[in-house]
Chains A and B, each alone.
Chain A
């Protein structure tokens, strides 16, 4: 899990073009959206593409993203549970 978390941090930084952040700046438990990293609905769509591309996991309804993308940890947990 910890390994996946570190990998995800890098992937999120790259996919969302968060140039100013290093993986160490991201707390795996703090919220990605709203007051956390300040991500928005388009970032959520970018993360859907990331999950599909890199992990083969398809999220049909963007509304489900809210829970899955709450934090890096929740993403990692979702991936572990759903990875084929």
Chain B
């Protein structure tokens, strides 16, 4: 069994400042949602921080928060999922080499490598154990969960630190708007569902989780399973994958109390969530969260944080409600996400 024993989340909501569960919600009217960052001095020595870009600092700080909450001294593995790594540094290099190739600074190159987040967390925690980084779009975080659970099953680890981290920049938004990923103008995040236009609202975040083989006083819930599916053509295949995934864990769609969907306001793809909800979960409470954190490759990290908090606090804040149904109990939550109808992922969490 796997337990979520600690979480650190830096997001566009006040998640790193308070442990209160969405009591206050931040409203934005923006092109993309940016994180509310903590004071890093608490987590990172300023001399070490001088070379770290924003994403690296976010990663280390949220990793430290999760480890502290779990009361963990040293993780047995550090695994990071990031779709794009430090885009900001990659852009610096591209801008530089487009002009001239001779004066490139080493720092952006180091910070742009995807594995630097995991390895700088290891340096910060002085952790010599297993360390790896998954970089597959919206599979990045779930690949990390799969690896981490395997580590525990293999008996090589009892506590693993697993992260979901990505950032957005203005240039990256501009570039990826060209391929229809995002809304073309600023929108109000809390009215995202009324937009009915193509493209999602972009966002960012860094969520780190301590997954342990045993529960501790800070435990949120059980992490039961996670999986990824590629190129499932059509709703029937998606439904089948969901049913199989639940079946492997001894459940049916009817056992799910809340299905947490990845709706992001993109009229081109949100119908996939609607189809799944209508066909498999018509009588189930349906939740969403991307209006709070925006869409990014590892946004399911925010989703998992929300699900874990629902189970821990046995509270289901209204801001997450996607339909009117109130769950009769809060025991089993399924998180389902898709990206452009190519990448599908699921995570199942259950109360202890």
B is a partner of A: yes
Contact present for B47 and A17 (CB under 8 Å): no
Contact present for A52 and B102 (CB under 8 Å): yes
**Which segment, of B103-111, B251-259, B324-332, B340-348, faces chain A?**
B103-111
Chain B interface category by residue count: 10 to 19
CB < 8 Å: which of A16, A19, A42, A49 contacts B103? Answer: A49
Max count, chain A CB within 10 A of own CB: residue among B50, B51, B104:
B50
Contact present for B102 and A46 (CB under 8 Å): no
Contact present for A42 and B47 (CB under 8 Å): no
B104 surroundings in chain A (CB, below 8 A) = 49
Interface SS, B side:
loop
B106 surroundings in chain A (CB, below 8 A) = 42, 45-46, 49
A-contact bits for B86-128, CB 8 A (1 contact / 0 none)? 0000000000000000111111001000000000000000000
B47 surroundings in chain A (CB, below 8 A) = 38
Chain A residues 37 to 67 lying within 8 A of chain B, measured CB to CB, are: 38, 42, 45-46, 49, 52-53
B110 surroundings in chain A (CB, below 8 A) = 42
Contact present for A42 and B50 (CB under 8 Å): no
User: Please, how many residues of chain A have a CB less than 8 angstroms from a CB on the other chain?
Assistant: 13
Known contacts A42-B51, A42-B110: A20-B46 contact under CB 8 Å: yes
Give the complex CA separation of A46 and B110 in angstroms: 12
Cβ-based interface call for A4 (8 A): no
Chain A residues 18 to 33 lying within 8 A of chain B, measured CB to CB, are: 18-20
Give the complex CA separation of A42 and B104 in angstroms: 13
Contact present for B105 and A49 (CB under 8 Å): yes
Chain B residues 34 to 58 lying within 8 A of chain A, measured CB to CB, are: 46-47, 50-51
Give the complex CA separation of A16 and B51 in angstroms: 7
Give the complex CA separation of A16 and B106 in angstroms: 11
B51 surroundings in chain A (CB, below 8 A) = 16-17, 42
* A20 (CB) vs chain B CBs: closest residue: B46
Please give the distance in Å from A15's CB to the nearest CB on chain B: 8
A-contact bits for B165-190, CB 8 A (1 contact / 0 none)? 00000000000000000000000000
Q: List 7 A-B pairs, Cβ < 8 Å.
A: A17-B50, A20-B46, A42-B107, A49-B104, A49-B106, A52-B103, A53-B103
| 11 new A-B contacts at CB < 8 Å, known A19-B46, A42-B51, A42-B106 | A15-B105, A16-B50, A17-B51, A18-B50, A19-B50, A45-B106, A46-B105, A46-B107, A49-B103, A49-B106, A53-B103
- Interface on A for B, CB 8 Å cutoff? 15-20, 38, 42, 45-46, 49, 52-53
